[in-house]
Chains A and B, each alone.
Chain A
Amino acid sequence: MKLRAAAVSFLNARPLTAGLAGSPLIDLVLAEPSLCASMLEAGDVDLALLPVGALPGRDWEVVPGIGIGADGPVQTVVLAGEEPPEQWGEVFLDTASRTSQILAQLVLAERGLSPRYTHMPALEGLSRAVGPKGALVIGDRAFDVDKKVVLDLGREWNRLTRLPMVFAVWAARPGALRPEDVQELARGAQVGLGMRTELAQQFAREAGGDPERYRRYLTQKIRYGLGPHELDGLEAFLSRAALAGLAPPTTLRFADDVVRSRRIRRAVSIDAALQKGADGVRLDPDEAEALDEKAPLLELGLAADMRRRALHPEGVVTYIVSRNMNYTNVCTTACSFCAFYRPRGHEEAYVLDRGQMARKIEETLALGGIEILLQGGLHPDLGIEWYEDLFRWVKSTYPAINLHALSPEEIWHIARTSQLPLDATVDRLVAAGLDSIPGGGAEVLDDEVRRRIAPLKCSTDEWLTVMRAAHLKGLKSTATLMFGVGEDSRNRVNHFVRLRELQDETKGFTAFICWTFQPENTRLDPSDNSAHAYLRVNALARLVLDNVPNFQASWVTMGGGVAQASLHMGCNDFGSVMIEENVVSAAGTTFQMDSEEVERHIRDAGFQPARRNMRYQIIGQA
């Protein structure tokens, strides 16, 4: 039986609902916000896209990862009047949404204002908001409010708290949602978010108005992620509402989103599979899964070491001198595992300017660096021109620098924000100076996991599509895996198999690197993210990814000692001397090494160090 769900028909909700049309799991009805809440209460529906003001006093289970919010001006929740708010003796509160009523009162109270509040339908309130009176207006009609004073409550909340405002979340009756349903909502969001341009055009046809304005509203104003900062914002809203006596105290409860489907697996001999792997015979998914679950660390390590010796018999371990340059930490995907991103309006949100970048690049050159690893958040305001200008500037100012830039996620984002086809996006970036692509943002290439930890990120297929497009244009890239996020053997093996298939097709991956999820400052509980797991998974990857030439040791997350051990269990590369790293270190890991220290670790472990470029060509033997 399908789950019954209710959602508002507002424009900002459509990216979360449009992708659910024809869903095999969820039946959707559209209603006013307050009606959504009462339908859920009455049991008419099991699930509703609920204004957060309807959460207090209830034990609804919230769907993790997605919601409707804003990290600055929202445009569709406003207080309007003819005189400044300080003059208002009475404020008419739109009856359609309790959330906005609470928000309006919190914002005015923070300014020391306590006008008389009168509940009234929006249009009537707005018409009576003359002289010393104000009115709360929400929803799509707020686009067209024509008053002298308009207080955008998204912006006001952000000024007040430096946190994003979350307006609505999917909430369900306790026990009503299965993990599959949660994943279906994430899938729907992923589809819907990809349709924002069409949804804006459709809305303009229905309601009139400028489709471009609506598109910007959906892509640049409204935020659909429910990551650590958004949850901070939501909790701040709920606790302030409780403190102000506007709602009972609330503790958020989340629906279970871990899908545990199984694949029937034939019996596999661990010994035989290890021998095959060691000898370079291709392992099938059943064998890989059995090894992942059962093979002891040193057995995987011995087999992986035999593969490494066969592929790299010289006993050379390479490394590169490169610098991470994270051009912005503003990001709209709000992944639960990320400690790096900041919403717009956050006091630590930044976009690097040319002066800062120039200094970083010059420091890199001074240290013998040859590459900039340029990655950043998905900033909603940066279009392809920004990247093109940046690349041209880097290449013309510092011709010696290799631009290893933009993970597939970012390229996908640029294509979307600039409304360009993927191919054209890659062509333009290459023309501007892009040399190669880092394999970041892969996380676990299994949508069952991605929808849980990063529902707004590109899907597995999309990630691979970008890589395929880039490889076919002659760009090389790396491939990554971040694990320890509650995935299982099957998910990890799916990841390897998808990479291996693409590599068979394109030969575009130069190297693989994996690391474990670092949980500090995030909202996600780790599963096994230990050093032991790192060495096992890395060794298994060396066996399964028989067509990827190089394996990097992740000393940044694991420390030099464990990375040295990985050189004896499959790795032949020590990654990069890190002049700067911001993303993983935001989650608590702070291992540092200069090139002398990198070489000491390589030598001490019994190998000859050599510097390389991004194509893994040796450029200097130490």
Chain B
Amino acid sequence: MLSSLAHRALERDGLGGIRDKVLASERITEAEAVTLLEARDLAALGALANHVREARHGDLTFYNRNVHLNPTNVCVATCKFCSFARPDDKHASEGYTMSLEQSVQHVVSKRALGITEVHIVSGLHPDLPWEYYLETVRRIRQAWPELHIKGYTAVELHFFAEKFGKSMEQVLRELIDAGLTTIPGGGAEIFASRVRRKICDDKATAEQWLEVHRTAHRLGLKSNATMLYGHIETLAERVDHMARLRDLQDETGGFQVFIPLAFHPEHNMIGKAFPKPTGYDGLRTFAVARLFLDNFDHVKAYWVSLGERLAQASLSFGVDDVDGTVLEERIYHMAGATTPQALSEAQLHRMIRFAGRVPAERDSLYHVLRVHDAQAPVPATA
């Protein structure tokens, strides 16, 4: 229930109409989403988003135990916001490509840590054969049958289809046969073509990105969706991005979670002109995403990008998922992230509990594996 203070604040801000729609479970418009982003009343916006979050999930806050696998950072795309990609495998450019054995070993070596998911994202390598990608999935599946394999962003999948002369359906079917279970939400950036032309004009377009997910959903795969915010996009372009996701979700119902990702400025081409978006920008974006994306179950804050403190604060601004233990993250750390390489489960619990929430370990399909109810003592720091 929305408190009387929240009502007072929203009325004062002229947001009574939007509030009424939210409370009546009516969909808000793109213009209203922009109004909320511009509202400059973080506490009231948070209260409204928190109302929706608690109505959906109560205090449950989801996380998983996962490991990241980035088999190569060699990439033919030249995204201006990226600090991870390298043009080739040569030592001088710090490019690398893992052998199949290395990739499998990287994942399997984490078995003792109770990992339930591997998250695979790569560069768009000019020379690797289709078998490499297929075999990566197949061998991990063979080595660890019960592990959930979330792999290859829509941008990579689109690249595979074009490079190897396959239909998207064919690409996905072969990967599913090899053992793929869901698709990560990366590569979405900002859908607006004005923005894409400027920051990532040589990879999948918005339509292509959406088409990959549409196809995946049709084949029964669940997927996630991201948005890279805080660079050159306008607030209206952010909302447009979310609107396209909302439309596709109406059509397929295949998205599980929306993940706003903060642009990180270090070691990439647009970082000099655009500083890292502030925490305020992140919190209002989470809150508006929660209010606007009424057909998405989950909104995730990626602690690697936000830092633990802001990620924790986001749990009062519409967020119900903090990603996972994230062993061995590379992409954000190469863009200057100063967060730890991984958080222990105890650290995640502490963060969640101290936000007054209840940690719930989930699998990759958001089945709850275990609720760590609040009766247990808060774990001490490591």
* A interface list, Cβ under 8 A from B: 271, 274-275, 278, 296-299, 301-303, 305-306, 519, 525-526, 528, 530-533, 535, 558-565, 568-569, 597, 600-601, 604-606
A303/B5 in contact, CB under 8 A: yes
Residue in A297, A530, A533, A560 whose CB lies within 8 Å of B279: A560
With A274-B5, A302-B5, A526-B381 as contacts: A532 and B42 at CB distance below 8 Å:
no
A559/B43 in contact, CB under 8 A: no
A565/B279 in contact, CB under 8 A: yes
Residue in A302, A531, A535, A563 whose CB lies within 8 Å of B44: A302
- C-alpha gap A263/B46 in the complex (Å): 34
- C-alpha gap A249/B198 in the complex (Å): 67
**Nearest residue, chain A, Cβ from B6:** A302
With A561-B279, A600-B278 as contacts: A606 and B310 at CB distance below 8 Å:
no
Judged by a CB distance under 8 angstroms, whether B226 is at the interface is no
- C-alpha gap A533/B351 in the complex (Å): 11
B313/A278 in contact, CB under 8 A: no
With A306-B5, A533-B354 as contacts: A568 and B43 at CB distance below 8 Å:
yes
- C-alpha gap A606/B279 in the complex (Å): 13
Contacts of A274 in B (CB 8 A): 3, 5
Judged by a CB distance under 8 angstroms, whether B9 is at the interface is yes
Residue in B9, B310, B378, B381 whose CB lies within 8 Å of A531: B310
With A532-B354, A532-B356 as contacts: A605 and B42 at CB distance below 8 Å:
yes
Q: Closest Cβ of chain B: how far from A57's Cβ, in Å?
A: 29
Judged by a CB distance under 8 angstroms, whether B315 is at the interface is yes
6 closest A-B pairs by CB: A561-B279, A606-B40, A531-B309, A568-B42, A564-B280, A530-B354
- C-alpha gap A526/B380 in the complex (Å): 9
Judged by a CB distance under 8 angstroms, whether B26 is at the interface is no
Residue in A275, A301, A305 whose CB lies within 8 Å of B4: A275
Contacts of B41 in A (CB 8 A): 305, 568, 606
B42/A525 in contact, CB under 8 A: no
Judged by a CB distance under 8 angstroms, whether B162 is at the interface is no
Contacts of B312 in A (CB 8 A): 530-532
B306/A561 in contact, CB under 8 A: yes
14 extra interface residue pairs, beta carbon distance < 8 Å, beyond A298-B50, A564-B279: A297-B316, A301-B43, A531-B313, A532-B355, A559-B307, A561-B306, A561-B309, A562-B309, A563-B279, A565-B42, A568-B41, A569-B42, A600-B278, A606-B41
Q: Give the contacts of B303-342 with A (CB-CB under 8 A).
A: 306-310, 312-313, 315-316
Contacts of B50 in A (CB 8 A): 298
Q: Give the contacts of B253-285 with A (CB-CB under 8 A).
A: 275, 278-283
**Nearest residue, chain A, Cβ from B3:** A299
A562/B356 in contact, CB under 8 A: no
With A271-B4, A528-B354, A600-B275 as contacts: A569 and B309 at CB distance below 8 Å:
no
A535/B46 in contact, CB under 8 A: no
Q: Closest Cβ of chain A: how far from B255's Cβ, in Å?
A: 26
With A297-B356, A298-B50, A601-B278 as contacts: A565 and B313 at CB distance below 8 Å:
yes
Judged by a CB distance under 8 angstroms, whether B47 is at the interface is yes
**Nearest residue, chain B, Cβ from A555:** B279
- C-alpha gap A606/B356 in the complex (Å): 28
Contacts of B316 in A (CB 8 A): 296-298, 532
A305/B43 in contact, CB under 8 A: yes
- C-alpha gap A525/B381 in the complex (Å): 8
Chain B interface residue count, Cβ-Cβ cutoff 8 angstroms: 38
- C-alpha gap A208/B351 in the complex (Å): 61
**Nearest residue, chain B, Cβ from A536:** B356
Contacts of B282 in A (CB 8 A): 561
- C-alpha gap A317/B316 in the complex (Å): 24
Mask of B341-362 contacts with A, CB within 8 angstroms, 1/0? 0000000001100111000000
Q: Give the contacts of B19-60 with A (CB-CB under 8 A).
A: 40-44, 46-47, 50
Q: List 8 A-B contacts (CB under 8 A).
A: A302-B47, A530-B351, A561-B278, A565-B280, A568-B41, A568-B42, A601-B278, A604-B278
- C-alpha gap A148/B355 in the complex (Å): 66
- C-alpha gap A303/B44 in the complex (Å): 10
Q: Closest Cβ of chain A: how far from B97's Cβ, in Å?
A: 35
A525/B380 in contact, CB under 8 A: yes
Contacts of A306 in B (CB 8 A): 5, 8-9
A569/B43 in contact, CB under 8 A: yes
**Nearest residue, chain A, Cβ from B309:** A531
Contacts of B278 in A (CB 8 A): 560-561, 564, 600-601, 604-605
B40/A302 in contact, CB under 8 A: no
Contacts of A535 in B (CB 8 A): 313
**Nearest residue, chain B, Cβ from A606:** B40
A298/B6 in contact, CB under 8 A: yes
Contacts of B281 in A (CB 8 A): 604
Q: Closest Cβ of chain B: how far from A262's Cβ, in Å?
A: 20
- C-alpha gap A601/B378 in the complex (Å): 33
**Nearest residue, chain A, Cβ from B351:** A530
Residue in A271, A305, A563 whose CB lies within 8 Å of B3: A271
A559/B6 in contact, CB under 8 A: no
- C-alpha gap A525/B355 in the complex (Å): 19
**Nearest residue, chain B, Cβ from A277:** B5
B310/A559 in contact, CB under 8 A: yes
- C-alpha gap A565/B381 in the complex (Å): 25
A301/B46 in contact, CB under 8 A: yes
- C-alpha gap A253/B355 in the complex (Å): 32
Contacts of A302 in B (CB 8 A): 3, 5-6, 8-9, 43-44, 47
Contacts of A533 in B (CB 8 A): 354
Contacts of A600 in B (CB 8 A): 275, 278
Contacts of B378 in A (CB 8 A): 528
- C-alpha gap A296/B51 in the complex (Å): 12
Contacts of B9 in A (CB 8 A): 302, 305-306
Q: Closest Cβ of chain A: how far from B305's Cβ, in Å?
A: 11
A561/B310 in contact, CB under 8 A: yes
**Nearest residue, chain A, Cβ from B283:** A565
Contacts of A298 in B (CB 8 A): 6, 43, 46-47, 50, 316
**Nearest residue, chain B, Cβ from A315:** B40
Contacts of B307 in A (CB 8 A): 559, 561
